[in-house]
Structure 1
Amino acid sequence: MAATGTKSVLFVCLGNICRSPIAEAVFRKMATDAGVVDKWRIDSAATSTYEIGNPPDHRGQACMKSHGVSMKHVARQVTKDDFMSFDYILCMDENNLSELNRKAKLVKNHHSKIELLGSYDPQKQLIIEDPYYGSDKDFEKVYEQCVRCCKAFLEMNS
Structure 2
Amino acid sequence: MDMKTRILFVCLGNICRSPAADGIMHRIVEEKGVAGNFEIDSAGTYGGHRGELPDSRMRSAASRRGYALTHRSRQVREEDFERFDMIVAMDDMNYESLNRLAPSREAARKIFRMAEFCRRHPDRTYVPDPYYEGHEGFELVLDMLEDGCEGILESLCQK
Q: Same fold (TM over 0.5)?
A: yes
CA–CA distance in structure 1, aligned partners of residues 154 and 64 of structure 2? 25
CA–CA distance in structure 1, aligned partners of residues 137 and 78 of structure 2? 31
Runs ≥4 residues deviating over 6 A: none
Q: CA deviation at 1:5?
A: 1.6
CA–CA distance in structure 1, aligned partners of residues 4 and 118 of structure 2? 24
What is the aligned partner in structure 2 of residue 68 from structure 1? 66
3-state SS of 2:88 partner: strand
Mean Cα deviation higher: 40-49 or 109-118: 109-118
Amino acid paired to 1:142: V
Amino acid paired to 2:53: P
What is the aligned partner in structure 1 of residue 114 from structure 2? 117
Give the 5 Å matches for 1:69-148.
69-104=67-102, 106=103, 110=107, 113-122=110-119, 123-124=121-122, 125-148=124-147
8 A contact 1:84–1:112 mirrored in 2: no
Q: 1:4 aligns with which of 2, 5, 10?
A: 2
Amino acid paired to 1:110: A
Amino acid paired to 1:56: P
Query: Number of residues paired by the alignment?
Result: 155
3-state SS of 1:157 partner: helix
Mean Cα deviation higher: 121-130 or 36-45: 121-130
Deviations 1:17-66 (A, max 9, x none): 00000111111100010011111000000001121111000011001110
Amino acid paired to 2:125: L
Q: CA deviation at 1:4?
A: 1.7
Q: 1:59 aligns with which of 57, 77, 88?
A: 57
More helix by share: 2
TM-score by length of 1: 0.93
Structure 2 portions without partners, runs of 5+: none
Structure 1 portions without partners, runs of 5+: none
Q: 2:16 aligns with which of 11, 15, 18?
A: 18
TM-score by length of 2: 0.93
Q: CA deviation at 1:110?
A: 3.1
Query: How many percent identity over aligned positions?
Result: 34
CA–CA distance in structure 2, aligned partners of residues 30 and 61 of structure 1? 18
